[in-house]
Structure 1
Amino acid sequence: MVAADAIVTVSYKRLFQRAIAAAPERLHFAAHSHHLWPDASYVGQLAAWEDGVRLADRKWERVMGEIWPAAQAHVANELRLPDPSTVVFAPNTHELLLRIASALPKRPLRILASDGEFHSFRRQSARWEEAGTARVHRVPLDALVETARMGAHDLIFVSQVQFGTGHVFERIAELAALARPDGPWVVIDGYHGFMALETDLSAVADRIFYLAGGYKYAMAGEGCAFLHAPPGYGPRPEVTGWYAEFDDLSLPPGSVGYAPDARRFLGATFDPSGIYRFVAVRDMLRQEGLTTADVAAHAAGLRDALLAALPIEAELLNPGSPARFLALRSPHAARWKAQLEAEDVIVDVRGDVLRIGFGLYQDARDLEALIGVLGRL
């Protein structure tokens, strides 16, 4: 057993009292999958409801005039984007992916991706192949840039952090150098990177798309995905909703107009409560003086202490990675996950990989308890 003071001395459980009280015996080590919500998110949820009943039809003036710009500013500050107007929100990243693809005029689309992308992209790209609307070239992560340089693709898609292995893609700038408004376009899936690693896109913001959302490390839950869209890329997505409408007097009568900024990728009416929660959580972090670097350091302390005392034998797939989870390969992974769940210890499995994720709501006592349960597997 590892002594608590040898692991980490700071606890932030006070910021998560509602989530912890909801299941006080649970040990939740799946922050990389479904991050527990801080109390601030409850405040944001209530604010969305109260604005809905207080303002009724006029709530959209507040949503689009105050909450939306505040959320844009938080994303831009986190990613060092020079212009918050390049950020647009949607209920999930899949909707945004469809709009990006619809803005590319060529068919079949020639897509390059890593062989470790998340199920949403994997399924959609496989269906495009099946329908004949895309040809998809999947390569190992370390071969992606060299393959992209061959210049045979319209869309290049890669995760900032691979969801299965925790491997970090560190060559975004090299892909960005290949991007052009007429193709190829570079799309970075940042879901396991946003607010997990410090990310500075200032040098590439004019050339790459970046997708992420509030469900994981942003601690805001569902319904708050976002896209950074570089100016000049995809001015007229074919998949479009009425929120993207823009009256351009220079267009011929009957033409479909688009907003000049990232709103061109908007859909239709949406539930804004996720954006309220995101803003409330980000405001809380600012008030607490907690940066992404601070949260990552807290998680890294827990991760490193677990590695030092890990009582199970498994192959670590992401040694030295700043990813906020351990990826442990073993033929026993599924059985371990089931045994842990039977004791109300929450982790997750991807195939033969057990993933253990770390967050702000865990402390030394949680880690000691986790090590004890792992030791009994």
Structure 2
Amino acid sequence: MVAEDQALMSARKNLFSKALSVPGRLHMAAHSHHLWPDATLAGQVEAWEDAVVLADHKWDKALGQVYPAAQGLVARELNLPSPESVVFAPNTHALLAVLMSAIERPSANQPIRVLSTDGEFHSFRRQAQRWAEAGQIELTLVETDRPDFVERFLSAARTGTYDLIFVSHVFFKTGFVFDRVWELAELARPEGPWIVVDGYHGFRAVPADLSAVADRIFYVAGGYKYAMAGEGAAFLHAPEGYGPRPVLTGWYAEFGDLEGPPGGVGYVRDAGRFMGATFDPSGLYRFVAAGRMLEAEGLSTAVVVAHVGRLQRLLLDQIADGQAGPLKDAVVLNPPGEGPQARFLALRHEKASAWKQALAEKGVVTDVRDDVLRVGLSIYHDEADVAAFCGVCRGLT
């Protein structure tokens, strides 16, 4: 515990010297676009230099070294049995499209029956709505704002009437942590239903051990937020035997030992069956650079969560004391409790959008979702940042 205690004593601003050197900016949106650590610059430069020096052979390194290293980082973070169950893509939308194409319908005219919620992120929300309009899926949504959401969702999932169940581990708007989501694994079957957990606000934000359910659930997330690597490094954990032959397929999915019908399109057995085609590998270089930095510095998810949790409680205390001006009138949708806590605070108020704009004019970066102001903290924040934030908020109306 000594190393963890030391890590909690102060922010690690030294790891973000370039991002924090931007004048006049107080970045309080680590949950939205996490500041890039200095290590990612080295990763970006390495990607460029490999392209220049290795030219056509850059893919030998990108796919032979960088890609497996990124898979290993995900597997260690989630305690997966094998890194080969992880596939990367430029964004989660691409992964969802390929995944959906792998579901076999009983007939071409029968829509895929999907259970989800009204609180999913736009990459799924918009596409699901369009699929429903086109008659390709039959979409059932469970409301998230009701206090009995967990039981209602689990009850609906257990009816056995769905082909796909898609739900967030941590909800992007409210910060609610669905800590019983792993119970859905008991329902999963290769023939359906498939369970897909959106882990974008959970990966490296809430400690997660998938070892007991990795053989039955899909898990999708990426490097843009708490993995600190930016765009271009979304990933999917895919259990073996689920969706062996996606209809939407790129030529990278035929790299390796192929299986398939004689004379037909072959696929590898591991998660590579969900791969697309040529992509920009620089996001993976940054993902590996950031992940290795976190491991080398002893900044496990548990350590970062403890540091952020302490600052969240401090901020909420100061808000309650009136030190952040009108923020004391907001409803805290996800106050710290006994269970896992999101890496951002969700403050509901009718003036949330106006507050966000006013803060931006003062150089303070937050974000808003409808009437919810979100404030995200990370390892580059300390008590002085909380005080500075509250000081600016006192000028809000």
In structure 2, C-alpha distance between the alignment counterparts of 1:215 and 1:248, rounded to whole Å: 32
Distance in 1 (alpha carbons) for counterparts of 2:260 and 2:250? 18
- The within-5 A match list for 1:45-56 is 45-56=44-55
Deviation per CA, 1:19-67, whole angstroms, max 9, x where unpaired? 112x232000011100000000101001111111111101111111111
Helix, strand or coil at the partner of 1:177: helix
Match of residue 25 from structure 2: 26
Is the 1:179–1:185 Cα contact (8 Å) retained in structure 2? yes
| Closer, same or farther: CA 52–247 of 1 in aligned 2, 3 Å | closer
Equivalent of 2:178, from 162, 169, 190? 169
Name the aligned partner's letter for residue 345 of structure 2. L
In structure 1, the partner of 2:78 is 79
The separation in 1 between residues aligned to 2:259 and 2:389, in whole angstroms, is 63
**Aligned counterpart in structure 2 of residue 332 of structure 1, from 340, 351, 357:** 351
Q: Is the 8 A contact 2:259 2:268 kept in 1?
A: no
1:247/1:205 Cα in 2 relative to 1: closer, same or farther (>3 Å)? Answer: closer
SS of the equivalent of 2:18 reads: helix
CA contact (8 A) 2:330 2:348 kept: yes
SS of 1:69's partner is: helix
The alignment status of 1:354 with 2:365, answered yes or no, reads no
Match of 1:317 among 307, 330, 333: 333
Separation in 2, partners of 1:172, 1:352: 26
Q: Structure 1 residue 172: deviation in Å?
A: 2.4
TM-score (norm 2): 0.91
The CA RMSD over aligned residues, in Å, is 1.3
Distance (Å, rounded) in 2 between the aligned partners of 1:250 and 1:16: 46
Q: Is the 8 A contact 2:260 2:267 kept in 1?
A: no
Structure 2 residue 90 is the aligned partner of structure 1 residue 102: no
1:11 shift after superposition: 2.1
**CA distance in structure 2 between the aligned counterparts of 1:242 and 1:80, rounded to whole angstroms:** 29
**Number of the residue aligned with 1:118:** 121
Please say if 1:274 is aligned against 2:279: no
Matched, 1:210 2:219: yes
* AA aligned opposite 1:232: G
Q: Distance in 2 between matches of 1:251 and 1:266?
A: 16
After superposition, give the CA deviation of every residue in 1:270-326 in whole Å (9 maximum; x if it has no partner): 001011001111111111111111111111111110000013210011122510111
Relative to structure 1, the CA distance from residue 250 to residue 55 in structure 2 (aligned partners, 3 Å threshold; closer, same or farther) is: closer
What is the identity, as a one-letter code, of the residue corresponding to 2:132? E
Q: Among 307, 318, 321, which residue is 2:316 paired with?
A: 307
Instruction: Report the 3-state secondary structure (helix = DSSP H, G, I; strand = E; otherwise coil) of the residue aligned with 1:275.
Output: helix
Distance 2:259 2:371 in 1: 57
| Residue in structure 2 matched with residue 13 of structure 1 by the alignment | 13
Instruction: For 1:287 and 1:80, locate their aligned partners in 2 and report how far apart those are by CA, in whole Å.
Output: 18
Query: Which residue of structure 2 aligns with residue 155 of structure 1?
Result: 164
Q: Deviation of residue 9 (structure 1)?
A: 4.5
CA contact 1:9–1:364 (8 Å) conserved in 2: no
SS in 1 for 2:187: coil
Contact kept, 8 Å, 1:93 with 1:213, in 2: the verdict is yes
Q: Hey, what's the Cα distance between the residues in 2 that align with 1:251 and 1:364?
A: 58
Contact 1:85–1:261 (Cα < 8 Å) also in 2: yes
Identical amino acids, percent of aligned pairs = 59
Equivalence map 1:168-247=2 (5 Å): 168-246=177-255
Comparing 32-41 and 133-142, the one that deviates more: 133-142
Give the superposition deviation at 1:199: 0.5
Q: Which residue is 2:292 aligned to?
A: 283
- Does residue 365 in structure 1 map to residue 384 in structure 2? yes
Q: Which runs of 4+ in 1 moved over 4 A?
A: 246-253
Corresponding residue SS for 1:303: helix
- Aligned residue identity for 1:44: G
Aligned residues between the structures = 369
1:248, 1:198 → 2: CA distance?
Answer: 34
Change (3 A) 1:165 1:247: closer
Give the number of the structure with larger relative contact order, counting CA–CA contacts within 8 Å between residues 6 or more apart.
Answer: 1
Tell me the CA shift for residue 249 of structure 1.
Answer: 7.4
Give the equivalent residue in structure 2 for 1:3: none
Structure 2 distance, partners of 1:182, 1:204, is 17
Deviations 1:87-107 (A, max 9, x none): 000000110001110000114
For residues 160 and 245 of structure 2, the distance between their equivalents in structure 1, rounded to whole angstroms, comes to 24
Q: Specify every segment of 5 or more residues in structure 2 that has no aligned partner in the other structure, as ranges.
A: 1-7, 144-148
What is the CA–CA distance in structure 1 between the aligned matches of 2:369 and 2:80, rounded to whole Å?
33
